[in-house]
Structure 1
Amino acid sequence: MYLKSLTLKGFKSFASATTLKFEPGICAVVGPNGSGKSNVVDALAWVMGEQGAKTLRGGKMEDVIFAGAGQRKPLGRAEVTLTIDNSDGALPIEYREVAVTRRMFRDGASEYEINGTKARLMDIQELLSDSGIGREMHVIVGQGRLNQILESRPEERRAFIEEAAGVLKHKRRKEKAQRKLVSMQANVDRLNDLTQELRRQLKPLARQAKAAQRAASVQAQVRQARLQLAGYELAQLAAAHEDIQKQVHAAQEQRELVVEQLEQAHILHAEAEQEVARATPAAEQAQQLWFQLSALAERVAATQRIARERADNFVELSYQGQDPDVLARQAERVKSECAQLDENVEIARQRLENIQEEVSDYELRAQEADKEHMAQVRAIADRREGVVRLVAAQEKYNEQLKVVAAEIARYNEQLEHSRSRSQDIEKRLLESEQAWVQAQDAAQPLQEAHIQATAEADAAEKRLEQLRAEQKNLEKQVSRLESRIETLQAAAPRAHTSYAGSSENKAAMAELVPLANKMKMRAEYAGQEKALAAALGFFAEALAGAIDDETLAQLVSQPGNVTTIARQTPGDTPWRLDADLPAQTQWLLDALTIDSGYVVAVTRLLADVVLVPNLDLAMEVINNDPRLRAVTYDGQLIGQGWVQFGQGAISTLEVEAQVEVAQSELEVVQAQLAEIAGTFSGAQTAAQEARVAVAQATANMRDHNNLIAQLERDVQRLRGEKATLQAEHEKLADHAQAADIRQVEVQKHLDDTLDRLARVDSDETQDQELSTHQRDEAFAALSQIKAMELEAKLALRSSEDKVRTAYDRLRGLERQINYERQAKAQFEQQMVRKRQQAQLAQWVSDKATVLGQQLSEVLEQAQRDREDKAQQRAHWSTRLQETKSAHSALQAQHKRLSDNVHALELASTQASVRLEEARTKIFEQLGVPVEEIARDYLPDSDFDEKTVREELREAEKDLNALGKVNPLALEEYKALEERYDFLANQLADLERARQDLSDVIEGVDKKILQLFHDAWLDVEKEFPKVFSTLFPGGQGRLVLTDPQDILGTGIEVEARPPGKKVKRLSLLSGGEKSLTALAMLVAIFRARPSPFYVMDEVEAALDDVNLRRLIALFEQLRQDSQLIVITHQKPTMDIANVLYGVTMRGDGVTRVISQRMSPELRQSQTQQSQPEQQINEED
């Protein structure tokens, strides 16, 4: 594909029809400035769809029409036709040659044609974009385009690659779809508003339509139900008034009977109160006495136990310390060693004194020799220097002697004071050490007393914890048994005593008790309640009580739960069956204890029941006498032709038996708990006394330990003071010795000065040669004797150390002897005291044993007395509670009956008033005479008031819920519903269309991403190659600003020409910038080739070297694409296949002259230009 021709009519300076026929390869357009060369480029851009007037170098689009020049008048339209050779099928159109025409008129109207057929601008743009020619015209490159590349932002540079990759067409599709989405959203919002408004209107219309349909039927139901209920209400009120009158008479008679019973119960209650008043003080006194004796017995037992432990813990011990006599003999030996060492010290001291005398002689000789020598030397010097300095030295030494003498006197005074303080501290230290040792010795008895008290307290606490654990265990058993009793009582089946009849009948039912309370198994048959419950069956849950025939008849006539009542019939005589029973079996009635008033009722139930131990005997009984029933201990009931077995719900009889067993266990545990309470009180007292003893022993030991610690601190403090004082004494002695030395030295210097003065005054002194032989011999002898003196001092010091050590051992032995003697005496005293304490403890243990035996007998007697009196009080308390309960029950019954009589009388009056009010109200509300209602609407036997009232309530509720009825609501509802359905369908269609557009946008995004990514990789790869061609030795690359966002990332250009380190485009020269921009464009051209490219004077700013490099790129590009080059450069003209010359005469009209260039001519021109190129490169 390539541009075949371009025809211009009235376009800018082309006033006459002009046709440029292009060839494949490079077509060069040349001519002087202002001749209209660039108008050819503008025509190409315009015909391919350019819409920007500024891009076409005009102020408005009408400027492209020839405006007139000279004698030429302005034209009315501009027309450009571009003919494209499509023989390779690059354009998606079924033509080998495509002619695109665009014309514009003065009025601004435009026309587009493709091969003479009318078309749209979009059709032309999409047709060209499929061949790589986008709307932005990246194939047309001029100076403005290069500046645009250089000055654009990174995000704008990516548009060049997008256009080359064919992305812009897809972007336009995306933008168009997005615009449609936006416009569609307005329609969707409008439809949503309409449908919501219709839904809001439909709901009340639907309710009104429904209400109109139901209104008539509901009103008829309401009137019918009200008439039926009015008849029922009249009948019920009349019957209730008659029934209440009967109840009033019955309640009055029953109240008179209860008054007589209440008087008799009051007498029995007063008698029980008197007996309880007599029994309670005696029982409490016996209880208190038993508690006191129990506590005393526990204290005696604890005392006996502690005394026995103290007696058993005594052991006769011998003294474990060192023998004082042995230590005394060791001390005598150490004294002998001290005497011998004293003699050695005296010998060493005598030897040292002798040597020191010799040292003094030798020192004197050496000093005299040295003095003589120095005197001679100084005399010579003094005669030279004069006597003035010697006199001054004499005065200085005299002053120093006075100062040193004062220091020596002060030091001697301080040493005397230090010796006095040392003696005082030594004395106090000795006293403190003795007191410390004595205190440590006295700590042993206190520790033993504390250990013994702690052991006794632990034993008492252990005994107390044991009793407390037993008490808690018993309390847990009491709690467990009480909980079990409560659980059993709660789990016991409850007989139905509720009654919906009159208050009199309710009171009669409330006085009934379970039948199980009127019978129980005999003691020898305890635990067989399961058999009794099985034999009774459902009668086990029956009620029992005195009830008259009239009340019974009323109870039976009223509806309610199934109720079984055993009536009290004391006048009847029970009867028994006569039958022979096998061994180990007996009548069940013989195993029961039955209340006298209910013997007949129970006998009627169980007269035929035999109690047997197992199933075999049961079968034998039934086989012998089919009239009988047999029940086993496990609750298996057998009769002729039937058997009952298995586990069912627990019966009242079984519960009562288990409750009785639990109560018996509870009484035993409570008695044990009361018994242990006394023992626990005594153990608490003994433990408290033991704790007090431990606290006292702990306090004594703590106080004594504090005393020992204080004495130890005093000893350490005095030892520290002694050491400090000794160090101060040694320091003062050193200072005094140093002062003595300084005094001797100053005196020596003074004597030397006086001698020198004497020698200076003597005229006999003569200068002579000095000799040192005599002085050297004297000092050598002095050194030898000094060494002997040092050895003697060391020997004396060693002997003194041995003596000091021996005397320290002697003093330590003497202190140890005194300590061991005192410790042995104290140990013997402690053993005597412990022996006495053990004997006393044994005596106390024996006495406590006897007293404990006596207390045990007294305690047993007190226990029996306490139990007897407690039983008496419990008996009368129970009797009192029974009489009180009976009296209270009768009082409550009397009150209930009185209240019932009053309530019934009041109810009778109220019933009469209600009946009259109901008649008046019914007539006023329904407008129907009462006689007519009583005749026509009396209730039938199957009339259900609850159902009718429920129907009336529902009907009234529906009628009220309907409110005001709109008769036109149904028609309005149907019309509105049809409109709502139509809009809903339209909205659904729009939603589907919007989803389709969203899918299109998503697909376009994927396509754009793929196209741009592939194009970017190719351009990125080509740019370094192109850049290295234009800048040999340089480096350049393209970089994405945001690689993570391929759809929005920009492109940065990095260029580093050879010999430079800069990469920013702004730092490059003009020519370098142009070449860099061209490098980017050429990289795009090579990555995504287009059929043709237009270059408008892009090499104008280049020198010959760079021009040759650019021409080389042109040579590469024309292998795949057609190049139309607007140029002034001769080298560029040399490579062109076709050369167009553009000229303009004075009439302002452009004319074109063409010349086809032969290959031989181009080659010769190229060879002629090579020397020039070489010269330029050398420059």
Structure 2
Amino acid sequence: MHLKSLTLKGFKSFASATTLKFEPGICAVVGPNGSGKSNVVDALAWVMGEHSAKTLRGGKMEDVIFAGAGDRQALGRAEVTLTIDNSDGVLPIEYSEVSITRRMFRDGASEYEINGSKARLMDVQELLSDSGIGREMHVIVGQGRLAQILESRPEERRAFIEEAAGVLKHRRRKEKAQRKLVNMQANLDRLEDLTDELKRQLKPLARQAETAQKAATVQADVRDARLRIAGANLVELQDNLSNVEQQARMLKEQVEALSDQLEEATGESMELEALVEQATKESDDAQQLWFQLSALAERVSATVRIAADRAKAAPEVPYSGPDPDDLERRAEQAERQQQELDQAVEIARERLESIREEVETHEDSLKRADKEHLARVRAIADRREGVVRLLAAEETHRAQVGTSQAEAERLTEELELTLERAQKATSEQTGLAEEMAELRKARQPLEEAHTRAAAEAGAAESRLEQLRTQQRDLERAVSKWESRIETLQQTAPKHEVNLEGWAPITEIITPHKGRETALSAALGPIAEALSGSDIGAALQEIGSTDITRTVLIEVSDKTEWRMDTTLPKGATWLLDEVDVDKRFARPLTRLLADVVLVTDAALAQTVVEQDPRLRAVTLDGTLRGEGWVAVGSGTNAVETAAHIAEAKAELKQAKAELADIAGTFEGAVQAAEEARVAAAGAKSALREHDTNLGALERDVLRLEKQAGASKNEHERMAARVQQAELRAIEAQQKLDETLDRLARVEDQDEEEPSTEERDAAQAALAQVKAMDMEARLSLRTAEERAGQSRGRADQLRRQAQHERQAKARHEAAMASRRAAAELARAVERNASLIKDRVSEALAQAEQQRVRTAENKNLLNSKLHTVKEQTRQLQQQLNKFSDSKHASDIARSQAQVRIEEAQAQAEEQLGVPVEVLLSDYAPAEDFDKGAELARLKKAEKALASLGKVNPLALEEFKALEERYEYLAGQLNDVQQARKDLSEVIEDVDKQILQLFTDAWHDVEREFPAVFATLFPGGEGRLVLTDPDDMLTTGIEVEARPPGKRVKRLTLLSGGEKSLTALAMLVAIFQARPSPFYVMDEVEAALDDTNLRRLIALFEKLRESSQLIVITHQKPTMDVANVLYGVTMRGDGVTRVISQRMSPATT
């Protein structure tokens, strides 16, 4: 037997399906650190049943599933399949090749398969246990396992030998038997308690069974006596019913005869009533006609008087206003005067303009004369000051002219630059202003969108708050109705008995709205009744239990029962105001058939007096019968059930509304959130737009300021240019004056200048100004006169139009008054003719009124006589009807008594009516008194027996059978305990034999293996308790060569590893397994010790297969197959294999 292959799918770093095909001998697995070599060891342990996540180097079992790396996604399951070559039949299974598969999913579910069939972990462990592989997995030596072997307790070291010896299978059998033994003890105790209890109950139950047997005999006599008495009572009631029915038939014939007479009299009365009605109508019509004609005569007389008055009161009135034509003429005259005044104003304005031109001409002449005179005066003064000064002034002025012109040219150039800057700023400002205008236009839609979004968000929040308020209100309503239902259920009447299949009467009868109190009063104590299907079974279940009085209502397949009685107006049967379960229609209608629902106490009294059999109940619960009345208030089961049903309906509606509003509330929350997001987005967009607009406005303002500054600078520069030009002109003028003065000084003499020309110019100017003042006054006067007369013509024309309209209205009024007077005269003539005709018709109507009144009185007299006859017949009919009604009531009562007797026989005695009349009808010599005495005697005998358990006989037999069955079970359990104890004893013997043999073999092998690894050293295994081979532990004593220590803790790391290996190899040699797995067990060894260990590997290879995880080249050299394990950057392990020829040493 050896491992044939190992397939990994999704196990740890083996993301892809990977298969390792093993060969007999030594298989070495090599590769760099972290490439996944140890995952091969973990896979072997995991597939063979390892369930410790710590042993598998994980935190939880799900860590064995590939978790994803690089571009590879995490997987959902891990799967490992181990294939074993079983051609030598070591495994107890009829297959030469065995495949063990273990599968784990992300949810923690795990599966095992053996050769593709579903299996359990126990099946896998039992399959491998015979080959020395158990839960300790001593055949798999992982990293750090060597140190654990030496540091473990002696009892734990014992487990390695037991596993190799195949003891674990027997230990599991022993533990299983011990668990069964413990569980069986509890069953045994329970059986003993039950048998003791049943034995204690059998004796009193036997006495009850004997009493029940006696009671059955006495009850048979009681039943026979009751049946015979019931048969006699039923025959007596049937005879009474026959007599009552015969009397009812006679009264019916008399009532029918009187009814025919009354019907004939009633027909005659109806004919007379029709004639009276017609005569009354004719009389009323005649009376109405007389009234109408009388009123018409009065109206016609009044019309004649009014028309005469109006015909006399219509005098002519002349028009007293001004003449419109005269006003038109005055308006035309005023218009001509206005035109003349406007012409005068225009002439005065033209004359003033001409005079102003003359004033300006004379002012210019005066200025020239003043200038000439001043020049002559200055020339004389200059000559006197000297020519030298004028020459100096000429040079100065020439220099000022040059300087001023140069400055003007410079400033002109700067002015042009300033103008360019201003134009550029203005152009940029214009562009930005257009952009800002566009932004301002775009702001309104954004603002509207924000306003709408804010309004929608507010509306959504309001809706959400409204729904939240409604939800809270509904939750409070649900809580309120639940509390009310709980309170009502607690206050509802409780039944002392709890019968299976029986429910309160409130579940089978439901009153209409507002009829609860009435039904409660009508039922009375029966409102606490129970309804069910089998009264007999219920009575047996109740037995002789001491309980308060309880009413039971049984299912019936009979139809409902009603009374045949006519009710007065305003009264209804209570049964018509309730809903009854059809299964209980018969008994409930029998209970309430005589109850009438009325509106008030007076009607209740009327109902009871009319039919004493009836009971009348008002809406407030007052119940009245013949000679008695029940009043007062109180809540019973009916009202409580109605209140509970109403509360449950309200609760259901509130819950339904709450469920409806829950979905609406979620939608409103989502809508509110969306509205808030939309409002925030709109607000953000508006804020962003305002930010951009603000920035643009600041740029426009900056450019505006810049353009303004450039404009101001341009204006200042223009002013400076103008000033420079003015200074140049002024300097040029001064230069020209200086040159002129020099010329005059040179040409003129020093005589004083004449003032005659200037004085003449001043005199002419003064004269012209006087003329200007006069022209101004004339123009002002003409304008005032024209303004005063302007509008006078329009005013006169409007007045003329108004007077013309007033005159037309006056003439129309006079024409209307004349026409009204003529119409009044015509009305007066026609009204007089109508008055005469109305008087004639009024006389005829008076005659008709008297004639119809006399006819009406005659018919009324006849009708009174006929009605009196009808009343007498009705009284006689009522008398006989009352008698017939009393007879019907008696018949109904007799029928009710018969039906009650029949129902009592069927319900209480369980005998059909036909059987009762045929088998228990009274004979001729029947003595009812003797039967009553017999019944009383039997009932007394039955009472003397006391409380009787009718089920005692059956219970005694059943209890006796159960006791015998449990006694047999008790004997079986005691025998099973004895058998299990013997099994445990046999298993202990097998464990002791297997462990003892294995111990001796391992103890023998260990010193030789230790000497191989430690030449010159000594080592041995020692039992901690040799006297108890079933529980003793194992201690390891080791003394390497050259050392005297025996304590394992004082050994070096390599020595500890070799010592642990010595113990494992000793076990391997004593009880060889088909394969062993070593995970870097030689990592801490030097070359010398490594070669010693390899020598042991080669020895083990002869009988077992070795799978070694290693980094050591010497170990690789002795391997038959070499597996290379690599891992690239994607975190996935890959395997390559190479078959090799091992080196010879």
Report if TM-score (shorter chain) is over 0.5: no
Q: TM-score range, shorter-chain basis? A: under 0.3
Give the TM-score of the pair, scaled to structure 1.
0.27
